[in-house]
Structure 1
Amino acid sequence: MDWNPHAAALAAKAAHPGSDWWVSLRETPRHLLVERWFTPAKDGWTVVDGPSDKEAWAAAAYSDTTLVTRVGPVHADHAEAGQTVTGLPTSSSTLPSLVVTMLRHGRLTPGVRLLDLATGSGYSAALACHQLGDDLVTTLDVDPYLAQTAAVRLDRIGRHPIVVTGDGNSELPGTFDRIVSMVSMPRIPAQWLTALAPGGRLVTTITGTGLIITADKTDDGGATGRVEWDRASFMATRTGDDYPLALNDLFTTASTDDGEVTVSPFPVLDVMQAWEVWSMLSLIAPGIEHRTGTSDDGSRMTWMLHPDGSWARARTEGGERTTTVHQGGPRRLYDVLEQIRWRWLEHGELPVYGARVAIAPDGETTLSRGGWSTTL
């Protein structure tokens, strides 16, 4: 495959001539790091084998899109052709423009020691090696197969960062000037601050939100920074082969029980497409599973499910603006959403983007802006 024209086209989409990342994107053969990936199917996911269809391989590898490489405990390298795999994505090769965004927020100046968290396919490590040199890049993944395979494929393209299998929530393998995470975190682990050199910088996203946090280490061992105006969302960090099972039993309850019935003045909202609302809701009530759909008559519907047993179901009938809401369990999740939507309308924005970030040495993280604050 003559991959260079494809990589040049990707560089034109994900960066621009003169950008620090232009040459890195043009000279990194992404296809050799992602040989197989999953695509959505009717009842799950099916695998695509790149070497078997080089045209499709080039088109996928050099598009500015995320390629899912692992679903549940099954890696695309191990999936059988024609097999349908069910579950949530648990690893991917993130879209290149987002990888570049995260690395750019890391301010990778010459000579800094980088920890790239969540190796995945190794693509972010490859770009960072091109920028800094192999000896200054360490990349870590909780999955032994991902780490080992990435090391082999990085070697194949001439890149040799330090590749470590480990948990990003535990003690980190060294001291670093930059920590850039390609996996989302519920809060900043204290171990990151311990491993961060004086004046060092960390970059991560917060689980269940579209928020990128950047923060620089302070003399007391904590860090201060802000929520960037860019938006991004990554898979949540995990410690095992898979994420907890979806709340299907609670979904059945939420779809059949009447619960407490109210009427909302707002039409149904696809919360996860409204990034400000979704992010603020996840900060206030983390862990909500959102589902959307339509009823038999075409009415728009949404469900909110939480591991504590709280649930909500909302339906906006065709042609109507108001919504019938059913709620049950220990908390009224839809009421929390409504309060956020009212604030959104009254202020014209929500305070999450651009918020100040203060991280204590133990990792306790507080976001604040315009009189609003929350602690993760």
Structure 2
Amino acid sequence: MTDQAQHLRVQLLNALTASGSVRTEPWEAAAGTVPRHDFLRSGFFRRADGSAWEPVLQDDPGWLEACYRDESLVTQIAGTILPPDIRGQILREPTSSSTLPSLVLRMLEDLQVEPGMKVLEIGTGTGYSTAVLCTRLGEGLVTSVEYDEDIASRAGTALGQLGIHPTLIAGDGLLGHADGGPYDRIIATCSVKTVPSAWIEQTWPGGLILATIGGWLSASELARLTVHEDGTASGPLLGGQVSFMLARPQSPPQLGMLPDLGAGTERQAIIGADILDDWMPRFIAQFAAPNAQRLTLDQDGHTEHVLVDIASGSWAAVYEDRGHWIARQGGPAPLWDAIEEEVGRWHAAGKPAAEEMTVTITPQGQTLAW
């Protein structure tokens, strides 16, 4: 490692320790030995104009300094495109990234891991967090699953060049890795719409699952779930509006042709669609309407906030008219009724913060309580 890289790494770690992202000596020591730039040698993408991205390669000025900023760095676009593949700019969506170090290390601290524990990581990504885990626990206790075979291969190469050889699996992380279980801890570096039953089944009773629970309305929170003897899991949200890319198999389906939004039953809304602009109400709304996707449409001089569940055919269009919110709904389940009930319950409780909430996972589903 160059003197500059060493200096930047120490500088970053000092900042993360001062901010509280790193709270204990074992994780400080582990992070202090892992060079993040070795996992970003293929480059990354940075924001250009508007929603465009442009590549930053290893030979570009500022590449090394950026590797040691506390920022998430996009490493793949549109499922296949890497920084060396692009000259100029690209307008597609990111599909993989190197998570900001403060979040990586905060989550490792929140995992409450102890020496000798066996850990399953869902989402290898670049391999940086995998390397920190292995440095703390030993590579024999770490299994990491990555959905994208090419990403998994590059992570394996980067880890191998540092002499780190955990069990790396290319496959669907939502299925876990039963052959290596049961595990004491599972940690996910992708967001999940629902916590998979496989993770609960592959964790010892009393073990912990640390996962970001999100959804198709784009709000998520970090949960630490304890697995129970009866095959359920429950635990608190940890707060902080943690956000990861959703696990690819749980990505929302294409909307296709919309239902007839002019039909349905109309009433004055109790709660307006503007609540969906705020993180916590939007997070709660996902539990009430977990399969709904959101879009906005201009209709007859006003903006309609539309929720569509293409699986059930249910939909809601909510708009403001002369100072009042109006909800028009169709399909078998009134989506806005469900959202008003759940968000209204939260309002009635005094709008508790995420840290006051718990999530419970049972074979019947996923529930949020406070």
TM, length-normalised to structure 1: 0.79
Question: What letter is aligned with 1:100?
Answer: L
| Rounded Cα–Cα distance in structure 1 between residues aligned with 2:158 and 2:12 | 20
| Alpha-carbon spacing, 1:315–1:368, altered in 2? closer, same or farther (3 Å) | closer
| Alpha-carbon spacing, 1:359–1:84, altered in 2? closer, same or farther (3 Å) | closer
Question: What letter is aligned with 1:50?
Answer: L
The residue number in structure 1 matching 2:82 is 76
2:286 matches 1:282:
yes
Q: SS of the counterpart of 1:51?
A: coil
> Residue 309 of structure 2 is aligned with which of 298, 306, 309?
306
Question: What letter is aligned with 1:7?
Answer: R
| Rounded Cα–Cα distance in structure 2 between residues aligned with 1:45 and 1:156 | 33
| Rounded Cα–Cα distance in structure 1 between residues aligned with 2:5 and 2:296 | 39
Is residue 147–residue 164 contact of structure 1 (8 Å, CA) maintained in 2?
yes
> Residue 177 of structure 1 is aligned with which of 171, 181, 184?
184
The residue number in structure 2 matching 1:3 is 5
2:213 matches 1:206:
yes
- Once the two structures are superposed, the pairs formed by residues 182-201 of structure 1 within 5 Å of their partners are 182-201=189-208
| Rounded Cα–Cα distance in structure 2 between residues aligned with 1:99 and 1:185 | 17
| Rounded Cα–Cα distance in structure 2 between residues aligned with 1:112 and 1:26 | 21
> Residue 228 of structure 1 is aligned with which of 238, 243, 260?
238
| Rounded Cα–Cα distance in structure 2 between residues aligned with 1:159 and 1:109 | 20
Question: What letter is aligned with 1:5?
Answer: H
Question: What letter is aligned with 2:137?
Answer: L
Tell me the percent identity: 28
Which runs of 5 or more residues in structure 1 are unaligned? Answer: 371-376
| Alpha-carbon spacing, 1:174–1:351, altered in 2? closer, same or farther (3 Å) | same
| Rounded Cα–Cα distance in structure 2 between residues aligned with 1:162 and 1:174 | 9
Is residue 8–residue 25 contact of structure 1 (8 Å, CA) maintained in 2?
no
The residue number in structure 2 matching 1:373 is none
The residue number in structure 2 matching 1:374 is none
How far off its partner does 1:283 sit?
1.2
The residue number in structure 2 matching 1:62 is 68
How many residue pairs are counted as aligned between the two chains?
357
The residue number in structure 1 matching 2:247 is 237
The residue number in structure 1 matching 2:350 is 348
| Rounded Cα–Cα distance in structure 1 between residues aligned with 2:11 and 2:268 | 50
CA deviations over 1:253-309 (Å, ceiling 9, x no partner): 76xx576554446565262x5332122211121122234699999x87644333244
Is residue 16–residue 102 contact of structure 2 (8 Å, CA) maintained in 1?
yes
Is residue 12–residue 70 contact of structure 2 (8 Å, CA) maintained in 1?
yes
2:143 matches 1:138:
yes
Question: What letter is aligned with 1:305?
Answer: V
| Rounded Cα–Cα distance in structure 2 between residues aligned with 1:58 and 1:3 | 7
Question: What letter is aligned with 2:131?
Answer: A
How far off its partner does 1:84 sit?
2.0
| Rounded Cα–Cα distance in structure 2 between residues aligned with 1:332 and 1:310 | 7
| Rounded Cα–Cα distance in structure 1 between residues aligned with 2:295 and 2:71 | 23
Is residue 307–residue 335 contact of structure 2 (8 Å, CA) maintained in 1?
yes
Is residue 190–residue 246 contact of structure 2 (8 Å, CA) maintained in 1?
yes
2:41 matches 1:31:
no
- RMSD across aligned positions (CA): 3.5
TM, length-normalised to structure 2: 0.80
